[in-house]
Amino acid sequence: MYTENEIHSIVEAQRTFFRSGKTLDLKWRIAQLKRLKAAVIAHESEFVAALREDLGRSTVEAYLCDVGPIIVEINETLRGLKKWAKPERHFSGLMCFPSTVTTVYKMPYGVSLIISPFNFPMLLTLGMLTASIAGGNTAVIKTSSKSSASTAFLKRFIAEIFPPEYVTLIDGGHDVADLCLAQRFDKIFYTGSPAVGRHVLTEAAKNLTSTALELGGETGNWCIVRKDADLHDAARKIAFFKLCNAGQICINVNQIAVAEEVADAFLKELKAEFTRQIGEDPTHSHEYPKLITDAAYDKCARLAEEYRDRIIFGGDGDRENRRFAPTVIYPVDKKESIVQHELFCPLLPVVPYNDSEINDLLETVADREHPLALYVFTKDMKWAKRVMQTMQYGGGCINEVCIHMMVKGVPFNGTGHSGMGAYHGEWGFREFTHPSTVLRGRTRFNLPLREHPYGGKYEKTKMSLLKKFEK
7-21: per-residue pLDDT in tens?
Answer: 999 999 999 999 999
Q: How far is CA 233 from CA 141, 223, 266, in A?
A: 40, 13, 10
Which of 197, 199, 201 minimizes the C-alpha distance to 209?
201
Residue 236 has pLDDT above 80, yes or no: yes
Percent of the chain with pLDDT over 70: 100
Any alpha helices (H) in 92-191, and if so which ranges? 123-135, 148-161, 174-181
Q: Which helix (H) or strand (E) holds 113?
A: strand 111-115
The mean per-residue pLDDT over the stretch 410-439 comes to 97
The helix/strand/coil state of 140 is strand
Q: Which CATH architecture has domain 222-368+373-410?
A: 3-Layer(aba) Sandwich (3.40)
Q: Print burial letters for 146-180: b (CB count within 10 Å at least 16), e (below 16).
A: bbbbbbebbbebbeebbebbbbbbbbbeeebbebb
Residue 272 confidence (pLDDT) above 80: yes
Residue 67 φ then ψ, to 5°: -65, -50
Does residue 469 have a pLDDT over 90? no
Cα distances (Å, whole numbers) of residue 249 to 65, 134, 191, 225, 360: 10, 26, 12, 20, 27
Cα gap 141→115, rounded to integer Å: 6
| In contact, 329 and 306? CB cutoff 8 Å | no
What secondary structure letter does DSSP report for 207? Answer: T
310 or 471, higher pLDDT: 310
In this prediction, residue 232 carries a pLDDT of 98
Catalytic residues: 214, 250
Asked whether residue 450 carries a pLDDT value surpassing 90, the answer given is no
> Given pLDDT bands bounded at 50, 70 and 90, which one contains residue 382?
very high
Q: Kindly list the domain boundaries of the chain, sorted by start residue.
A: 4-217+419-434, 222-368+373-410
- Of 45 and 97, more confident: 45
Per-residue pLDDT of 137-171, as tens digits, reads 999 999 999 999 999 999 999 999 999 999 999 99
CA 50/CA 40 separation, integer angstroms: 13
Cβ(201)–Cβ(211) under 8 Å? yes
pLDDT of amino acid 381: 98
Say if residue 470's pLDDT is above 80.
no
What pTM did the predictor assign?
0.96
Confidence at residue 85, expressed as pLDDT on a 0 to 100 scale:
98
Q: Is 2 left (phi over 0), alpha (psi -120 to 50) or beta?
A: beta
Reduced to 3 states (helix: H, G, I; strand: E, B; else coil), residue 471 is coil
Rg (CA), the chain: 26
pLDDT at 95 over 90: no
Angle between helices 26-42 and 123-135 (to 10 degrees): 160
**Contact assessment for residue 253 and residue 242, using Cβ atoms and an 8 Å cutoff:** yes
Q: Which of 269, 276, 61, 15 is nearest to 165 (CA)?
A: 15
Residue 218 has pLDDT above 90, yes or no: no
CATH architecture under which domain 4-217+419-434 falls: 3-Layer(aba) Sandwich (3.40)
Which tens digit of pLDDT belongs to each residue from 27-71? 999 999 999 999 999 999 999 999 999 999 999 999 999 999 999
d(CA 251, CA 241): 10
Amino acid (one-letter) located at 237: K
- The predicted pLDDT at position 465 comes to 86
Give me the residues paired with residue 108 across strands. 433
Tell me the DSSP string of 363-375. HHHHHSPPPSEEE
At 145 the pLDDT is: 97
Helix, strand, coil distribution of the chain in percent, nearest 5: 50, 20, 30
Give the pLDDT of residue 468: 84
Q: State residue 161's pLDDT score.
A: 97
Torsion of CA 3, 4, 7, 9, to 10 degrees: -110
Query: 336: how many CB neighbours lie within 10 A of its CB?
Result: 14
How far is Cα of residue 104 from the mean position of the Cα atoms in its chain?
A: 27
- Please compute, for residue 60, the number of CA atoms within 13 A of its CA located in the half-sphere on the CB side: 4
pLDDT, averaged across the chain: 96
Q: Which of 387, 348, 382 is nearest to 256 (CA)?
A: 348
